[in-house]
Amino acid sequence: MLSNQLHNGMETAKLLWSRIPSSEDGEVDGVSMLRTSNGNTAESLDYEVIENQAYRYEQAQRGKLYVGYQVVVKWFLALLIGIGTGLAAVFINISVENFAGWKFSLTFSIIQRSYFAGFVIYVLINLVLVFSSVYIVTHFAPAAAGSGIPEIKGYLNGLDIPGILLFRTLIGKIFGSIGSVGGGLALGKEGPLVHTGACIASLLGQGGSTKYHLSLRWLQVFKSDRDRRDLVTCGCAAGVAAAFRAPVGGVLFALEEVTSWWRSQLMWRVFFTSAVVAVVVRTAMGWCKSGKCGHFGSGGFIIWDTSDGQEDYSFGELLPMAVIGVIGGLLGALFNQLTLHITYWRRNYLHKNGNRVKIVEACLISVITSAISFGLPLLRKCNPCPESDPDSGIECPRPPGMYGNYVNFYCGKDKEYNDLATIFFNTQDDAIRNLFSAKTIHEFSAQSLLTFLVMFYTLAVVTFGTAVPAGQFVPGIMIGSTYGRLVGMFVVNFYKVNVEEGTYALLGAASFLGGSMRMTVSLCVIMVEITNNLKLLPLIMLVLLISKAVGDAFNEGLYEQQARLRGIPLLESRPKYQMRNMKAKEACGNQKVVSFPRIVKVADVISILQSNIHNGFPVIDHTRNGETLVIGLVLRSHLLVLLQSKVDFQHSPLPCDPAGVSKSIRHNFSEFVKPVSSKGISIEDIHLSSDDLEMYIDLAPFLNPSPYVVPEDMSLTKVYNLFRQLGLRHIFVVPRASRVVGMITRKDLLIEDSEGSANVELQSTSVRGHRQYRMISRDVDVERPLLNGLLVQDHMLG
């Protein structure tokens, strides 16, 4: 009977939950798969190496010295990314702390004479800071709005979203974060720091910004999207390491949350970058302790030392700790659903009215937030200060305008404090430090904590999605630590055990982040690093697993939902269940594949490029028997380069060299690389005369002769895994091959490069023995397959 009631209760909860708007409702399904919510067309990145003749010629000219130079430059760029991201984080934190310090100092000095005047000044300062942030975003860097993590996650998944890695986006992210966080909004600066690190990495990878004439030619070494992807991954890890002072957590965050491809070589560079960030931040904090950074003081970078807190816990405490995990999962899932609904309405209705509406909205939320944070403490009664402990270093009440616990706000006596003002009249970092404090057991009342939880949760939901740089790490920690401390108070009162309320606040923070963002390993390490308390590791793991499991029962993680809402098509790690019963040919649809002959007329190339938006085209040729064979894949960007240069135009419709291998190379491989900071060449940039249109191009030297091919009856699940794990942009679907030329096994790939010999030996897999055969070049008449279809990223998003 109990199981039936439980089952009925779960079904009722799911029914009620299903009535809340989801990311799959309404217009979201109608979004073009490669078009973002702001209308920009996003293209896939070319992680596959295009091995045309220009590439092979360039590789042949490079020796081991150049390869070593590339390795050195990669490590040097990792160093620069760490230094640049660390300095950006130091600048943002010092600016936020100083703006907040001046604001609180001025407000507290004015309220000594008039609370109304102090309220007006408090609101105006916050309004000016928020207005500067939203104005920078709307008029200078629209891509700087939000946290930027869904966009960076899309980039590392293989999608090039216009504008997210530009220099102006970097500037807008830095100064916009200072305004929005310093202005007291229920937002954080940690998510924007991840985007900031990615922008710094991308700009360094391309040698700087060509638009603003800030470029270095000697850094322009990496031309491929694959190398740029690795640098951006380093930047993401550096951003997390700088935000939380958690270098190991930054590495794991990049591995678990944002990147889709991982290699051991990349692990070393990411780890090195995060270590450099930790050194830079540590050095800056040591320099600021001498008083040279104004109001920075002990605030700024997130570090909440709870090592002197609860050292042990009893078995009976596991139940309330598990309850914290359940609460975190429920509140996190509700937070995701509410922000999704509000962001959907905001993007499709409110923000379509222009930038003026975005500015008015952000300023209105700023005024409401300031009124709540100033007005609610006025309604609370002050509490008498506890007996001071000389060893704790905590003063009650604290001096006006200073950081710390026990704020004297609207109190009739000197030795009193306002517990709700202690949370509101602090920066978020210092408020969390107060909530985590192990030496102030009865500092906050249950009424104040519950009031703050409801108001801040509501403000965080409403504020998320405004046109300002916004992160959700610190607001999530604020929310979780509040209800975590409430549970700790309940345990103290009803269990009659000696526990630390700050320990439960820490577990609550971990549970809400796990229930909202659905991270486990990286978040666990981050929480341990920022609290410097390894003893709580098993408890953090427990609440994270419970909160993630509860949250997954209702919806996706915050970043996945926001990516879907923004029209960012992510290829998840696992294929859809429906793909199990589908074949590769079915995914191609009924669309006819647009292809080019090997010798193509210039006018035909122009006509096809103007009438199609495809980024890759099969190139076909005819044999002596009249059969049509696929000889390779040519990219749209490469065709535009050939049309613009005109050097490969020829009058004859016949190939100059039938084999297509001895034609002189007139292009460097770098000419075919699409710039990061611009859209590259478009068909509108091509201007040809009537004589040019009558000429021909031999595409053989410029195509990729070895594209990835799958048979038409291969399972779509297997195709999906191949497509995603290799980071492909196109894949050919061909009929079942008629004969086998050879078979490669693991032993055939174990190359032995003996010293003093230029010959490369391969291990034979012959069943007759294990003799070694020298690999020789020979012309083999390999039967090339016909083409049935072409799979691109759109088809993988089933």
pLDDT of residue 738: 65
How many residues belong to the chain? 798
pLDDT of residue 768: 40
CA distance 482 to 189: 20
Torsion of CA 688, 692, 698, 702, to 10 degrees: -20
Average pLDDT (345-356) is 88
pLDDT of residue 557 exceeding 60, the answer is yes
Please give the domain boundaries of the chain with CATH numbers for all domains.
64-290 (1.10.3080.10), 315-566 (1.10.3080.10), 578-656+668-749 (3.10.580.10)
User: What does the radius of gyration of the chain's CA atoms come to, in whole angstroms?
Assistant: 30
Q: Which of 80-84, 353-357, 496-500, 754-758 has the lowest mean pLDDT?
A: 754-758
pTM of the predicted model, to two decimals? 0.85
pLDDT interval class at 402 (50, 70, 90): low
Percent of the chain at pLDDT exceeding 70: 79
Q: What is the pLDDT of residues 86-110, one digit of tens each?
A: 999 999 988 988 888 888 889 888 9
CA distance 40 to 485: 45
Average pLDDT (586-611) is 87
Average pLDDT (20-37) is 39
Alpha carbon 434 to chain centroid, angstroms: 30
Average pLDDT (16-22) is 40
697, containing H or E segment: strand 696-698
Q: What is the pLDDT of residues 510-548, one digit of tens each?
A: 999 999 999 999 999 998 888 877 888 888 999 999 999
pLDDT of residue 272: 95
Q: Which of 510, 605, 602, 518 is nearest to 554 (CA)?
A: 518
Q: What is the mean pLDDT of the chain?
A: 80
Q: Is 403 left (phi over 0), alpha (psi -120 to 50) or beta?
A: beta
pLDDT of residue 12 exceeding 80, the answer is no
Q: If 0-12 CB within 10 Å is exposed, 13-18 middle and 19+ buried, where does residue 222 land?
A: buried
pLDDT of residue 55 exceeding 90, the answer is no
Strands (E), 490-648: 596-597, 599-601, 616-622, 628-635
CA distance 519 to 512: 11
pLDDT of residue 753 exceeding 60, the answer is no
User: How many CA atoms lie less than 13 Å away from 705 in the CB half-sphere?
Assistant: 15
Q: Which of 626, 610, 750, 781 is nearest to 693 (CA)?
A: 610
pLDDT of residue 20: 39
Residue 544 · residue 510 · CB < 8 Å? yes
CB atoms within 10 A of CB 209: 16
pLDDT of residue 269: 92
Q: Which of 111, 666, 680 is nearest to 421 (CA)?
A: 111
